[in-house]
Amino acid sequence: MKKHWCVCIVLLIVSQTVKADNKSPDGPDAIVLAKWEAPIKDPNDPTEVLQVKWNAVAKVLQSKDLDQTSKETIIDKIVSPIFDFSLMSKLALGKTNWSKLTPSQYETFSQLFVKRLKDAYREKILLYKDEKATIGSAIQKKNTVRIPMLLVSGDKNITILYMLRKVEDGWKIYDVEIQGVSIILTYRSQFTDTLRHGSFDELISQLEKPAAP
């Protein structure tokens, strides 16, 4: 399953924040988005939001005029607005664990956690082979939705489930399941095991090291 993360991780590993000056309608990010991304007609429709973002990412990845670094940078700008990194970090750590941390400790963990995801992305994006994706209809569940995606890679079908919640500035992704396995819960299991048998400093030390292949 790991070799197919390259496609869905593209929508996961992005900049943790977007600088305020780049949020201007006429700023650098807006220029990038205008070139690669179609306008989102209904930002209240999570399926349309995900479809537009996916199409833009695929367009960038398939471009023969961009080098790898440029692709990563542009994709960062395309998908940054639709991920709730603060919530993802808390969910990955688990309420029992993150509630014990000081603000400084939590900030350190959050930054390293996002960096870990970025590092995984940089290794796997090169495996992209123009897989075909079909996005299904959103399934409402209280104040969240789940949007299924079928990824066809050669003779294999990979099922992906995006989980989004509504916040003030739109729909945000807070977890992704690949073949029924939650990325966030997988990390939480690893982090909980580390903290159960060690300390927060040991967890931080592990995150500072390069991820195992």
Residue with tokens 């990390």: 187
- Quick check: 120 and 1 in contact, CB under 8 A? no
| pLDDT confidence of residue 145 | 96
Taking the domains of the chain in order of start, what are their residue ranges?
Answer: 2-208
Best CA proximity match to 138, nearest among 206, 48, 200: 48
DSSP label at 126? G
- What is 2-208's CATH topology? Nuclear Transport Factor 2; Chain: A, (3.10.450)
Distance CA 2, CA 143 (A): 30
What pLDDT, in 10s, does the model give residues 87-126?
999 999 998 888 888 999 999 999 999 888 777 666 665 5
Distance CA 143, CA 166 (A): 7
Distance CA 24, CA 208 (A): 34
Distance CA 148, CA 30 (A): 28
Sign of CA dihedral 169, 9, 42, 88: negative
Task: Tell me the helix, strand and coil percentages in the chain, rounded to 5.
Answer: 55, 20, 25
* Local confidence band at 138 (pLDDT 50, 70, 90 cut-offs): very high
Q: Which long-range contacts (C-beta less than 8 Å, at least 24 apart) are formed by 209-212?
A: 210/119, 211/116, 211/119, 211/120
Q: Residue 62: CB partners within 8 Å, gap ≥ 6?
A: 130
- If you average pLDDT over each of 71-80, 113-122, 162-171, which comes out highest? 162-171
pLDDT-above-70 percentage for the chain: 79
Mean local confidence (pLDDT), 50-55: 91
* Local confidence band at 212 (pLDDT 50, 70, 90 cut-offs): low
| pLDDT confidence of residue 16 | 36
Residue 39 burial (CB count, 10 A): 8
Does residue 183 carry a pLDDT above 60?
yes
pLDDT-above-90 percentage for the chain: 38
Residue 162 burial (CB count, 10 A): 25
Distance CA 62, CA 130 (A): 7
| pLDDT confidence of residue 122 | 63
- The two most distant CA atoms of the chain are separated, in Å, by 50
| pLDDT confidence of residue 27 | 58
Residue 168 token pair: 């003030």
